[in-house]
Amino acid sequence: MQSSLSIVMCTYNGAAFVKAQVQSILAQSYPFEELVIVDDASTDGCYSLLQQLASTDARIKLFQNPTNIGYNANFEKAIRLSVGDYIAFADQDDIWEKEKLALMMEAMQPSTALIYCDSVRFSDAIPTNPQPNKKNRRIEGTNPLLLAMFNTVSGHASIMRRSALMPLMPFPKDVYYDWWMALHATISGGIQFLPYIGVYQRMHTQNITIQQGLTEQEHRHRYRLMLNNHLAAFATIQNFPAPLQAFFEKFSTLWNRSLTKKFNGRLFVFLLQHHRLLFYYKVRRVPIISAFKVSFLFCFRW
């Protein structure tokens, strides 16, 4: 018996691009159960457009929040409204390749908690010869420490087993839901990566996770604050083995102190001690030199 698959998508003021994304989802070759869309009180006509689309395909299950509840809470609501054994996540402004779901479901091992594919960004036209990003190593497997500094698991490219997903909610308010899912997935069956470009991620000024027009120092400052929130949440995970929980508690404490100190020498030492794990995602010819440079930049507050 084939496992059922639900797709969940959250929308907010996405009238400009949502139709193309919904059409790319409905055109999937894999026979998915439903496309659950929860609109987060849009004001731009997005919901009316979705109503028109829902009237043409019974697989679309459309809901709207009376007031805006935010990105994480809205995805959580969409997940709870879905029924599939597996959940795929969709952003409102991307485009999916037709075989995305089919190839991912075929590749996914029964014990795997989460599988994700590759994605590339575009602004105007979808690239005709897309190439994978070779700067970052894709994280997979069962070691959560590989995800302590950086996350390569994008929600828009992920499918997660429902039984592994439901215990993770509610999502913490100040973390990226896909990073939270990925970290938990490492200890509930593991992560798979499929080297296939299945998603074209549209870049525009309203993207939540793509920050454009910032200086290098501004990017670094925002990253510091973002990682501080994530490490604080990771340190609260109770089903980690004791050594892992102790690692995240120490890392979180050191990182938090670095926000107010001119230079945090203890954090610098900690990052270098664990650089093979913390900077695993970086593809560098001489990893230790790269780790030394990056560690210094994050431990020294300009």
161-195 pLDDT, tens per residue? 999 999 999 999 899 999 999 999 999 999 999 99
Helix axes 18-26, 46-54, angle to 10 degrees: 20
Residue 207, in any domain of the structure: no
When comparing pLDDT for 44 and 288, which is higher?
44
| Residues above pLDDT 90, as percent of the chain | 79
CA distances, 54 to each of 19, 49, 148 (Å): 11, 9, 40
Residue type for position 207: N
Cα 11 from Cα 20, distance rounded (Å): 13
254 & 108 share domain: no
181 & 222 share domain: no
Residue 208, in any domain of the structure: no
Residue 228 confidence (pLDDT) above 90: yes
175 & 232 share domain: no
Instruction: Answer yes or no: are the C-beta atoms of 86 and 44 closer than 8 Å.
Output: no
274 & 175 share domain: no
175 & 220 share domain: no
Asked whether the CA dihedral 143, 148, 152, 155 is positive or negative, the reply is positive
Cα 116 from Cα 87, distance rounded (Å): 12
Q: Which domain, by its residues, includes 53?
A: 5-202
Residue 31, in any domain of the structure: yes
Indicate the pTM of the whole model.
0.93
pLDDT digits (tens, 9 = 90+) for 104-147: 999 999 999 999 999 999 988 888 888 888 888 999 999 999 99
pLDDT digits (tens, 9 = 90+) for 54-80: 999 999 999 999 999 999 999 999 999
Residue 301 confidence (pLDDT) above 80: no
End-to-end CA distance of the chain: 58
Structure tokens at 285: 């010819």
171 & 35 share domain: yes
- Number of domains within the chain: 2
Residue where the block lists tokens 């995970």 = 237
What's the residue count for the chain? 302
